[in-house]
Amino acid sequence: LVLGGTDPAFYDGSFTYVPVAKAAKILPYWLVSAKDISVGGQSTKACNWLTGCYMVVDTGTSVLAGPVNTVSKITSLIGNVSADCSNVHTLPTVEFSIAGTTFDLGPEYYVLRQTTNSGSVQCALGIEGVNAGVPIWILGDPFLRKYYTVWDAEQQRVGFATAK
C-alpha cells in the first residue's frame, strides 16, 4: 500500500487513466464506465450499447462479479474449469473495454487456485453472478492482481498499469 504516490517496483510501463463515472457521486464506490466484456474476442454484450455499464474497482472483493444472466453467458464462453487445474492453460482471455481501452485477463488471473488440506491444488472460476438490482460489475482481486491500480481522488480518476 502506497499513499500519495506509486512504487515503480510493482508495475511496468505507464498508467492508463480512466475517469470516475458521474454515478460515483451518487453511489459510494469507485465506478468506471465500460462498453463491453469479451471472451476470446467474442462480445458478450454485457453492457447496454448506448449507455454502457458501470464497474466498481474494489479491493474488498475476491472475485469478478456481475449480473447473473451475463455471467452465465461469460462462463459458457469460457467453458469448464477442471478442478485439478489441468485445462487452465487452454481457457480464453477475458477482455474489459473501459473508457476506450481494453484490459485483458488471462485464465491465470480469473481462475482461483486453492491448496487443500491434503496439499493438492484445486481450481475454480473466479467469476460470480450477483443480483445487485442494478447492472453493475465488480472488478475484484483477479483484475487487481494483473493491474497495479491508483485511485486519484483529486482528479477523479483511476489509473491502471500492468503489475509486475
| Domain positions in the chain | 23-78+93-106+125-159
- Supply the CATH classification number for the domain 23-78+93-106+125-159: 2.40.70.10
Mean pLDDT of the chain: 93
Helix and strand totals (H; E) in the chain: 3, 13
Each residue of 60-116: pLDDT tens digit? Answer: 999 999 999 999 999 999 999 999 999 999 999 999 999 999 999 999 999 999 999
pTM metric for this prediction: 0.91
pLDDT score at 24: 59
